[in-house]
């Protein structure tokens, strides 16, 4: 092969390489810059099993709802808890970045007087997010997910039937600007009962019922917990029991009135004691989901 032929072949190969490069570019592909970041971090954190859940406005206000079960018994709406309460929240963190990462779990917002602790070993050990400890490191492999437990202790003296928000944040250490937040919301009770009594066949117009007149008692029950969004962990009351004993204070209608058969529940609750001579009634509601409500009614005739 002479020099002229060899130069022609080299030029042909160079042109072919350029054509291939242009073809790749035309298809929208890119060439990796080996000096740039190969594994940018990204993360989602949310309710157990649903790290990508959405709240009322997006993926940063999804939530897990829990309730205390201490300090709320026999406390009327408007009252305050008389004991501290503890709840453990289960959050799932998912590595949505380009490689293995370590995420910092923190609580940038929490209610005054609350104690926030985090466990990354399924509850064997907890670390308090307090003082010098601002976060807990949680390694998560590429495209993997992991569980984080958050133990929240609420003080006594909180208004009942209210939700208190703790914001839990996950921050990538591969890309420190990559963060996601979820809300662990602790309720001080979530079932509200409102009672009323109305004279339904008054002939005198007097405030107090007279013999022969009937009084209708109505108990409105409501699940006051939040429900907006998709994939969030909600609060549902199962086998809710409402008991009305006419001889148990502050009731006084057990011996002064007669039962009128025909008690009802707008949600189809199972009613016990709806019979002649009854002095007490019980209504059992199978389930009451977040945001739902119903009314339990019964009548008594004044002796």
Could you tell me which of 41, 53, 38 has the C-alpha nearest to residue 139? 41
Q: Which residue has the higher pLDDT, 209 or 296?
A: 296
Q: Which residue has the higher pLDDT, 212 or 242?
A: 242
Which tokens hold the place of 59? Answer: 């993926």
Range 191-302: architecture per CATH: Sandwich (2.60)
Angle, vertex CA 89, rays to CA 87 and CA 91, nearest 5: 175
- Map out the domains of the chain as residue ranges: 43-187, 191-302
Backbone angles phi, psi at 191, to 5 degrees: -110, 120
- Measured CA to CA, the distance from residue 168 to residue 266 in angstroms comes to 39
Mean pLDDT, to the nearest integer, of 158-170?
98
Residue with tokens 């928000």: 165
- Provide the phi-psi class of 56: left if phi over 0, else alpha when psi is between -120 and 50, else beta: alpha
Q: Fold match between 43-187 and 191-302?
A: yes
pLDDT digits (tens, 9 = 90+) for 10-23: 343 344 343 433 33
Local structure of 165: helix, strand or coil: strand
Cβ(156)–Cβ(82) below 8 Å: yes
- How would you class 303 by CB atoms within 10 Å of its CB: exposed for 0-12, middle for 13-18, buried for 19 or more? exposed
- How would you class 118 by CB atoms within 10 Å of its CB: exposed for 0-12, middle for 13-18, buried for 19 or more? buried
CATH number for region 43-187: 2.60.40.2310
- The answer on pLDDT for 42 being more than 70 is yes
Mean pLDDT, to the nearest integer, of 237-256?
96
pLDDT digits (tens, 9 = 90+) for 119-144: 999 999 999 999 889 999 999 999 99
Local structure of 296: helix, strand or coil: strand
Cβ(195)–Cβ(250) below 8 Å: no
- Measured CA to CA, the distance from residue 34 to residue 37 in angstroms comes to 8
Cβ(68)–Cβ(154) below 8 Å: yes
- Measured CA to CA, the distance from residue 293 to residue 267 in angstroms comes to 8
How does residue 268 score in pLDDT terms, banded at 50, 70 and 90?
Answer: very high
Mean pLDDT, to the nearest integer, of 283-298?
98
Mean pLDDT, to the nearest integer, of 260-267?
98
pTM for this structure?
0.84
Q: Are β-strands 280-288 and 163-172 bridged in parallel, bridged antiparallel, or unpaired?
A: unpaired
């Amino acid at each position: 092969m002479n020099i002229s032929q060899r130069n022609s072949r080299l030029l042909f190969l160079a042109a072919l390489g350029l054509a291939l490069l242009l073809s790749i570019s035309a298809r929208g592909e890119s060439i990796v810059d080996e000096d740039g970041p190969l594994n940018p971090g990204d993360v989602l954190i949310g309710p157990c099993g649903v790290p990508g859940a959405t709240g009322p406005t997006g993926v940063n206000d999804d939530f897990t709802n829990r309730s205390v079960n201490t300090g709320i018994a026999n406390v009327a709406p408007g009252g305050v808890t008389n004991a501290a309460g503890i709840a453990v929240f289960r959050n799932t963190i998912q590595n949505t970045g380009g490689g293995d990462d370590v995420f910092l779990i923190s609580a940038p917002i929490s209610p005054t007087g609350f104690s926030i602790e985090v466990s990354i070993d399924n509850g064997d050990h907890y670390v308090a997010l307090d003082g010098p400890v601002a976060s807990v490191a949680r390694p998560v492999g590429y495209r993997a997910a992991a569980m984080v437990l958050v133990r929240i202790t609420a003080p006594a003296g909180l208004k009942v039937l209210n939700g208190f928000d703790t914001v839990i944040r996950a921050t990538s250490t591969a890309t420190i600007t990559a963060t996601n937040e979820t809300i662990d919301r602790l309720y001080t009770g979530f079932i509200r009962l409102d009672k009323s009594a109305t004279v339904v066949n008054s002939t005198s117009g007097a405030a107090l019922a007279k013999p022969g007149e009937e009084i209708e008692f109505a108990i409105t029950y409501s699940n006051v917990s939040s429900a907006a969004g998709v994939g969030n962990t909600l609060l549902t009351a199962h086998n809710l029991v409402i008991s009305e004993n006419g001889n148990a204070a502050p009731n006084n209608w057990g011996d002064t009135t007669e039962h009128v058969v025909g008690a009802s529940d707008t949600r189809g609750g199972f009613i016990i004691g709806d019979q002649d001579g009854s002095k007490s009634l019980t209504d059992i509601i199978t389930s009451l989901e977040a945001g739902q409500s119903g009314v339990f009614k019964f009548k008594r005739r004044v002796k």
